Amino acid sequence: MAKVRADAKPITLTVDGIDVTVPEGTTVLDAAKEAGIFIPYLCAHPALRPWGACRMCMVEIENARGVPTACNTPVAANMVVHTNTPQVLKLRRNVMELILTEHPIGCLTCHKRDQCGPQETCLRSVAVDFRCVTCPANYRCELQMNCDYVGLDEMAMPVRAKNIPLRKDPLIALDWNLCIVCGRCVRVCDEVRTRSVYAIVDRAGKTMIDTAEGAPLEEAGCIFCGACVDVCPVGAIEERRNRFAGVADSTTESVCQYCSDGCAFRLEQKRGTVIRVGPIWEADVNGGQYCIKGRFGVAEPISSTARLLKPLVRKDGRLVETSWNEALDLVARELAARAGDQIGVIGSVRTTNEASYLLQKLARLVLRTPHIDTTGRLGDAAGLLGMQQVLGVGASTVLHDAISETSCILLAGNNLSHTSPITAMKLLQAVRPQVKVPSNTGYFSYLPDTSVREAPRPKLIVIDPRAIEPTHYADLWLRPKPGTDRVVLGAMLKVILDEGLTTLATSTATVKGVEDLQESLAPFTLDEAERISGVPAEQIAEAARLYATSGPAIAIFGRGLTQQRDGTAAVAALCSLAVLTGNVGKPNAGVLFPVGANNTRGAFDLGLLPEYLPGYEPADSEAARQRLEDAWGGPIAARGGLTLHEQLDAARSKRLTAMYIVGANPAQSAAEGTRVREALEALDFLVVQDLYLTETAKLADVVLPAASFAEQDGTFTNAERRVQRVRKAVSPLGESRPDWEILVELAGRLGSTAFQFVHPIEIFDEIARVSAIHAGMSYDRLDDGPLAWPCLTADDPGAEVLFTDGAAFNLPPLDPPVAGNSPAGYPLLLGLTSSFQHFATGTQTRLVRQYAHFQSEDRVELHPDDAAAAGIADGALATVTTPHGVARLRARVTPEQRVGTAAVTINFPESGVGSLFGPDRDPGAKSPVFKAVPARVSPV
Amino acid sequence: MSRATAAELAALLEPFEGQKGATIDALKQVQARYGYIPEEAIDAVAETLGVSRNTVFGVITYYEFLKLEPPARHTIRYCMGTTCDALGGREILQEITSILGIRVFEATPDGTWHLERLPCFGTCSLAPMMQIDDEAHTKLTVEKVRRIFAERLPGEPAPIAGDGMPAPSEQLVKELEA
């Protein structure tokens, strides 16, 4: 629909005798909707710009020529609109007949359709592929509804069967025989997703939607986001899985469980199983857009046969099914015997806030252990701590929507298209080439000009050794040697300070440490930075100037930075850059931190890590500890908690004797793969709470089956700090139970009375009492939409932009730059990379059977030059060797990779990729190094 | 017909760099240079203008004047008017399609012949008729068509004068005047 400017003036018009007042620029179609009057339409869509092609929405407007289409006619003062005059109704029926000459109509004009099922014998002898009752979209079809609305009971015109062969694309089933060429898929793919996979091909009677030369979707550039499936009004574009499952029994609004974008969607349930997810067009975060994981990868894993249905205990070396009572009693007995600091707790970045909060409460208050961490340590802890150092807050400082209004974007080390696809979509929408000739001159010239962005296209600077989608549109692409980002950022800081390009966003902000920082930057000369990073000096200087002088700028970072040896320092340098250029504390500028998983943010927020108590109270602050003890009514564990890898080291040395792991798979994802298994095997008692029998769960003494996100109520917090409601759509599979319920049961068996919860709403209320940043939130408020923390009081709208009232920033000095030296015999630098369809260790996404079409094993990616030097062909098996381990992987040779680098994915357990990474740690966050590891690759 | 090289295309499309709205202009330039839109030019146009390959393909297929196939060396324009048809035109056309092995509006794989059908030449007195490039062949019979193509196939020997009629338009005018 037409985008309406915020400052538009109100216009009053009359629709079918009803006076309605709407902002200027609204279309007649939307105004009629506002007045409660339905106008049928097919090509219009809430996510798209008006098009005016299908002619279904024709109305009569007094004193206007002809019968204008309501979807692309803007309202005018005192306009008088008639939507159902005899002339309009007759014309609409004619239009519908014309549309139906190219669409199967067997059931559309049949009065018995509602009494007919797919198995019935048709009394009119209509062919099976010409019926509604055998169409995947039956009762979900907008054409059917429109047809019923205009009341078409016979067709005067002949109908042509198109007989276009079906296609074999994965995930998306295309049946052009059902297509009415409304163009919605073409437009959503271009306007919203910037992919343009579909085009309207050929003309006149032969017009049809297709890819160039009918190529398979994958070759045509499709990212399988499913936007075309969601906008298609008929059954032409459908999700292949459950295509014929029909209409859902009920739908529930919830939030996606994969990445930290936190997209809201509808879970469609039929007979107790989630059959598909559907879009919420008015969703605040994502506006009805999803990615391959969220659109096609949610329903299958949660109803998979791989789910654990009963608790398992180890008897005679084997895991056997048991009852909840026996399992929980055993866990309580074993943990009680070791309470104190013999127990390590590893929480999940995927469970709800309520479960995360209860887990750390159980650890600190009942198990009395400070050793609490999550697998967020593997990628995001360095980001959190680096941002905390400089800004005092370790989260995105503005909503990610700011990307579309900013003037400059600095993207450092994050392949957004894989890790946060909706943030990537917002970025690509902003930076892709704009249509210079406005497309609505001429015929649509009376519409407000919405096709051209009001803000000028922002400048894009990418710092990434790898060619990623945004580099295609980058104004400046710095391609450093892996592991040298801190040096590049240091040199940019030096340019900005030396050239006096500094400014402050607000007069109330104070900045400490500028002199010390400047002093420490002396060795970061452009020449030195060029020598170490391989990025030309002038590019570094130009990037610094562009970032400092373009206006409001957004900096985005990711695991490319945080998984380096000096990840924490690199993130701190990036934040210093933002502070010094005045890009923190004002709208459309800031630092974005797209964390790894759906609730990594929430796990950090609620103290599921050794450094912080809930609400980012420092774990060693006496006052904070006292407040928490008062709130919980008991003493909490001592200071000095161990991080993930420290815990595993302690397990190996028998300092920890038991571990409680919830929804995490360190046996596959952590560095030092084989040694992690040793550590877990060395434990006397290991409890794993998970949905599936992961590599980690296979080592456990007790496995507790947890319920999926679709089977419980709760909240997730996305990377933007927005807390959103997760709602129960179906009952837990088998005997599995929600994480919070298991923790409540266990705490009761351990003799605690501080876990008297019967519903997550009570846990959330306690979170609001304990954590100051959540104080103003409640389920009631969250039902109206997401709230961003800090939200301090019940009428606080939440802070969408941080630091607007000033803040105290603290810029730490940088350690001198050092060039990394690889040991002899390791010519390549190896890093971890992501794949676009698999998430984390792939435990869930591997269960989506059709993803095997894209990738069915882990792989090593190499530049053609390096592959040629090593004698490895594309698709051949290769042995990857690092000083820490060996893995045998299939090679993918691609120029996306920088010369001298290799990348591996970590989505499949059998490949043993984890063992390639060693005991090196980033001193700041004590997190393992997954980037710039010396390696060599040889043919098998 | 030379194949489009990357350098040639880059030079040709340079003025359109980043201009999403100039797809048709860019394609017209390509067609003017090569006579059609070569496969590799679709990619080049998409890349240079910043639109998708699919969109470019959609534009090409919309406009009749933009061709995806190289033009044939000789175009046969066969009359499909009422008189030609009544005088056995259909059998003659069938003979042509079977000789050349193509259907109407197709080109032979070697790019020599392209067969088109036109509504009417307005010369019913000479029906049935066709034009090969600029030569008119009139009062056709199946035999005559076989002879014409027998002389020309295989390959394309030196042009033959159709029925001894040099410039068709003048000839037609004369005949009509007579």
Residue of B18, B49, B55 lying closest to A199 (CB–CB): B55
Query: Chain A closest CA to B93's CA: distance in Å?
Result: 25
CB contact under 8 A, A196 and B61: no
pLDDT confidence bin for A4, thresholds 50/70/90: low
DSSP string, A21-86: EEETT-BHHHHHHHTT-----SS--TTS-----S-TTB-EETTSSS--BGGG-B--TT-EEES--H
Query: Chain B closest CA to A190's CA: distance in Å?
Result: 9
Closest CA to A771 of A185, A357, A234, A308: A357
Instruction: Summarize pLDDT for A339-370 with one digit per residue, the tens.
Output: 888 999 999 999 999 999 999 999 999 999 99
CA distances from A172 to A163, A167, A235, A292 (A): 19, 9, 11, 11
Substitution target from A203, A460, A471 for chain B, most B beta carbons within 10 A: A203
Q: How far apart are CA A58 and CA A70, in angstroms?
A: 6
Name the percent of chain A lying above pLDDT 70.
Answer: 97
Domain ranges of chain B: 3-62, 74-177
Residue of A190, A202, A436 lying closest to B61 (CB–CB): A202
Nearest-Cα residue of chain B relative to residue A216: B54
CB contact under 8 A, A433 and B54: no
CB interface of A with B, residues 201-230, below 8 Å: 201-203, 210-213, 220-221
DSSP-based three-state secondary structure for A132: coil
CA distances from A381 to A314, A722, B153 (A): 33, 19, 77
Residues of A in contact with B20 (CB under 8 A): 433-436
User: pLDDT value at position B167?
Assistant: 46
Higher-pLDDT residue of B20 and A591 is: A591
Residue A394: pLDDT over 90: yes
Residues of B in contact with A432 (CB under 8 A): 50
Residue of B57, B62, B63 lying closest to A212 (CB–CB): B57
Q: How far apart are CA A310 and CA A306, in angstroms?
A: 12
Residues of B in contact with A436 (CB under 8 A): 19-21
Q: Which CATH architecture has domain B74-177?
A: 3-Layer(aba) Sandwich (3.40)
- Along the 178 residues of chain B, how does pLDDT read in single tens digits? 446 788 889 999 999 988 878 899 999 999 999 889 998 999 999 989 888 999 999 999 988 788 888 888 888 999 988 999 999 999 999 999 998 889 888 888 888 888 988 888 888 888 899 999 888 899 999 999 988 888 876 555 444 444 444 444 566 566 666 6
Residues of B in contact with A197 (CB under 8 A): 52, 54
Substitution target from B19, B54, B55 for chain A, most A beta carbons within 10 A: B54
Helices (H) and strands (E) in chain A, counts: 27, 38
Query: Chain B closest CA to A202's CA: distance in Å?
Result: 5
Query: Chain B closest CA to A162's CA: distance in Å?
Result: 18
Residues of B in contact with A223 (CB under 8 A): none
Nearest-Cα residue of chain A relative to residue B50: A433
- pTM for this structure? 0.89
pLDDT confidence bin for A631, thresholds 50/70/90: very high
User: pLDDT value at position A450?
Assistant: 44
CB contact under 8 A, B53 and A221: yes
Q: How far apart are CA A929 and CA A922, in angstroms?
A: 7
pLDDT confidence bin for A437, thresholds 50/70/90: very low
CB contact under 8 A, A221 and B59: no
Residue of B22, B51, B54 lying closest to A211 (CB–CB): B54
CA distances from A484 to A466, A481, A518, A829, B162 (A): 13, 6, 19, 12, 77
User: pLDDT value at position B1?
Assistant: 42
User: pLDDT value at position A336?
Assistant: 95
Closest CA to A681 of A705, A662, A654, A703: A654
Query: Does any CB of chain B come closer than 8 Å to the CB of residue A440?
Result: no
Cα A686–A334–A646 angle (5° rounding)? 45
At position A612, the amino acid (one-letter code) is: Y
Cα A266–A270–A271 angle (5° rounding)? 145
Residues of B in contact with A220 (CB under 8 A): 52-54
**Per-chain mean pLDDT for chain A:** 92
User: pLDDT value at position A448?
Assistant: 43
Nearest-Cα residue of chain B relative to residue A215: B54
The residue written with tokens 């919605």 in the block is: A184
Per-residue pLDDT, averaged over A682-696, amounts to: 96
List the single range of A439-453, A467-481, B38-52 with lowest mean pLDDT: A439-453
Q: How far apart are CA A614 and CA A368, in angstroms?
A: 16
Q: Residues in chain A, how many?
A: 940
Query: Between A and B, how many CB-CB pairs are < 8 A?
Result: 63
Residue of A201, A221, A473 lying closest to B52 (CB–CB): A221
Residue of A203, A211, A435 lying closest to B20 (CB–CB): A435
Using CB atoms within 10 Å of the CB of residue A183, give its burial: 0 to 12 exposed, 13 to 18 middle, 19+ buried: buried
Query: Does any CB of chain B come closer than 8 Å to the CB of residue A199?
Result: yes
Residue A658: pLDDT over 60: yes
Nearest-Cα residue of chain A relative to residue B59: A201
Instruction: Summarize pLDDT for A278-291 with one digit per residue, the tens.
Output: 999 999 999 999 99
CA distances from A136 to A235, A429, A482 (A): 6, 32, 49
Closest CA to A338 of A302, A366, A373: A366
Using CB atoms within 10 Å of the CB of residue B83, give its burial: 0 to 12 exposed, 13 to 18 middle, 19+ buried: middle
DSSP-based three-state secondary structure for A903: strand
CB contact under 8 A, A203 and B62: yes
Query: Does any CB of chain B come closer than 8 Å to the CB of residue A542?
Result: no
User: pLDDT value at position A115?
Assistant: 87
CB contact under 8 A, A199 and B57: yes
| Helices A381-391 and A567-580, packing angle to 10 deg | 40
Quickly count: other Cβ atoms within 10 Å of residue A499's Cβ.
13
Residue of B20, B49, B58 lying closest to A199 (CB–CB): B58
Query: Does any CB of chain B come closer than 8 Å to the CB of residue A500?
Result: no
Residue A742: pLDDT over 50: yes
User: pLDDT value at position B171?
Assistant: 61
CB contact under 8 A, B52 and A190: yes
Residues of A in contact with B52 (CB under 8 A): 190, 195-197, 199, 220-221
Residue of B19, B55, B61 lying closest to A196 (CB–CB): B55
Query: Chain B closest CA to A559's CA: distance in Å?
Result: 29
Substitution target from A174, A434, A453, A457 for chain B, most B beta carbons within 10 A: A434
User: pLDDT value at position A440?
Assistant: 39
CB contact under 8 A, A199 and B19: no
Q: How many Cα atoms are found within 13 Å in the side-chain-facing hemisphere of A530?
A: 9
Which residues of chain B have a Cβ shorter than 8 Å from any chain A Cβ? Answer: 18-22, 42, 49-59, 61-64
Residues of A in contact with B55 (CB under 8 A): 190, 196, 199
User: pLDDT value at position B163?
Assistant: 44
DSSP-based three-state secondary structure for A449: coil
Higher-pLDDT residue of B27 and A113 is: B27
CB contact under 8 A, B21 and A436: yes
Q: How far apart are CA A699 and CA A776, in angstroms?
A: 42
User: pLDDT value at position A533?
Assistant: 94
Cα dihedral A511/A514/A520/A525 (nearest 10) = 110
Higher-pLDDT residue of A763 and B22 is: A763
User: pLDDT value at position A485?
Assistant: 95
Residues of B in contact with A213 (CB under 8 A): 57
